Structure 1
């Protein structure tokens, strides 16, 4: 498994984020998150309402543990 330092060292400048919405409704509209594969075992998770914020980084195992399925974003 890739460690946190290596996750945050990955360049995400050309990452292609996909958006999934649902769950709790935000006062400004639907709650949505963005997800991009940034490596073999690395993902970047962002907030569509705050695209200026740095996305968080996770391994595939961490996404699984959080119940986040990349397939829901159309990603594999």
Structure 2
């Protein structure tokens, strides 16, 4: 399993981020991209200049974030 430093070593250039909004996307939306096998980058569409946070699938699951809500499969 990757640890936190390993996740941030993964290249996210060219990652395809998709949005999921809880309502109207006037305040910004959460963005998610698969960046490797069982690894994800989570960003904020309102702050695209900020480095996305990175998580394993298990960590997303523990936080209640379902990639399927973004149209992504695990």
Q: Normalising by structure 1, report the TM-score.
A: 0.88
Q: Normalising by structure 2, report the TM-score.
A: 0.91
Residue pair 1:2, 1:41 contacting (<8 A) in 2 also:
no
The more displaced of 29-38 and 9-18 is 29-38
Alignment length (residue pairs): 73
Pick from 56, 65, 69 the counterpart of residue 68 of structure 1. 65
What is the aligned partner in structure 2 of residue 14 from structure 1? 14
Residue pair 2:43, 2:51 contacting (<8 A) in 1 also:
yes
Q: Which runs of 5+ in 2 are unaligned?
A: none
Q: Which runs of 5+ in 1 are unaligned?
A: none
Higher strand share: 1
> Which whole-Å CA distance do the structure 1 matches of 2:38 and 2:66 have between them?
13
Q: Which aligned segments of 4 or more residues in structure 1 are displaced greater than 6 angstroms?
A: none
Pick from 36, 42, 50 the counterpart of residue 53 of structure 1. 50
